[in-house]
């Protein structure tokens, strides 16, 4: 497994296992099979509702804690966010059954962002969150957060896939010392990703699946990826991407698929902000 080094010196696997949209009743088995397949980075969130199942799988797996990299995420908090954030973190930590997490992310760029971030800084200083970061921050919000706080986010987890490649955003993150991480690396199959002729053609040249081509493309760009699956054979396939390499021409060919736009939703859209705010207030 390859690793990236975060801005605080912590090493993070470049490929992990995500549990978004896996029902809680299926999560423990899925995570157990992922650990057996060799995954050591696990990515969950309070909003996913499956932290407890992830924690059970970790305990059952018997893998030394220092060999695991566990990420969870904070949902949107209102003021007083510093107090609310600590309470939310403690709830997640108890659900996971851990004494710390390796990465704690602010899940959305909404609510009392600065209060939330200062609470994350406190958790980091106390060793409860080894690294802290954000998710879904566009460059303007990310730079503003960096300029007005002491600790620079270690990670920004954003929608990144062949149809929305975030190349300029990644360059800015690199300049600022922030590691880009992909969610939705397979675009959830949209735009017929798994039957895309260009990706299939590249896969045929290497004897690999489209999924493996996409993950290899992300790895070669230095993007941390967290593919999800509930099938053990697919988990094994997804992690098997470290013994081949795309050529420069193939990387350039994949670059032509970029549309420059989200396939899901734009976090700068007022309607999206309104919807997520309501999910906070009603949740």
Q: CA separation (Å) from 23 to 10, 186, 230, 233?
A: 30, 19, 10, 19
Cβ-based neighbours of 137, under 8 Å, separated by 6 or more: 109, 145, 153, 156, 158, 267
What six digits make up the tokens of 205? 């040249």
Alpha-carbon span 170 to 158, nearest angstrom? 10
Alpha-carbon span 36 to 52, nearest angstrom? 19
Partners of 71 in the β-ladder? 43, 103
Burial pattern 265-280, b for ≥16 Cβ within 10 A else e, equals eebeeeebeeebeeee
Q: Is 48 assigned a catalytic role?
A: yes
Give the active site residue among 20, 39, 48, 138.
Answer: 48
CB 56 within 8 A of CB 11: no
Ramachandran region of residue 191, left (φ > 0), alpha (ψ -120 to 50) or beta? left
Going by the DSSP 8-state scheme, the letter that residue 161 receives in this structure is B
First and final C-alpha spacing in the chain: 38
Angle at 128 between CA 127 and CA 132, to 5 degrees: 90
Find the largest Cα–Cα distance for the chain. 55
Q: Give the residue numbers marked as catalytic.
A: 48
């Amino acid at each position: 497994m390859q690793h990236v080094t975060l801005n605080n010196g912590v090493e993070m696997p470049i490929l992990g296992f995500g549990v978004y949209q896996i029902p809680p009743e299926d999560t423990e088995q899925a995570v157990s099979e992922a650990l057996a397949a060799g995954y050591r980075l696990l990515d969950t969130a309070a909003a996913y509702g499956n932290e407890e199942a992830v924690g059970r799988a970790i305990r059952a797996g018997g893998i030394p804690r220092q060999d695991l990299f566990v990420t969870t995420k904070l949902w949107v908090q209102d003021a007083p966010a510093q107090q609310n954030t600590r309470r939310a973190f403690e709830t997640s930590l108890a659900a996971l059954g851990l004494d710390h997490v390796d990465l704690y992310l602010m899940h959305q760029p909404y609510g009392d962002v600065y209060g939330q971030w200062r609470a994350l800084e406190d958790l980091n200083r106390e060793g409860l969150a080894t690294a802290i970061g954000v998710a879904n921050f566009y460059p303007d919000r990310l730079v503003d957060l960096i300029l007005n706080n002491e600790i620079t986010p270690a990670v920004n987890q954003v929608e990144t896939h062949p149809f929305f490649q975030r190349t300029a955003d990644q360059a800015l993150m690199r300049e600022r010392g922030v590691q880009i991480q992909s969610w939705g690396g397979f675009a959830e199959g949209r735009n017929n990703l798994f039957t895309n002729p260009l990706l299939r053609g590249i896969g045929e040249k290497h004897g690999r699946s489209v999924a493996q081509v996409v993950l290899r493309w992300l790895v070669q760009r230095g993007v941390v990826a967290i593919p999800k699956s509930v099938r053990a054979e697919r988990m094994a396939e997804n992690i098997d991407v470290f013994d081949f390499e795309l050529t420069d021409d193939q990387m350039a060919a994949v670059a032509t698929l970029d549309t420059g736009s989200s396939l899901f939703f734009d976090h700068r859209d007022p309607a999206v902000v309104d919807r997520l705010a309501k999910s906070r207030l009603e949740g």
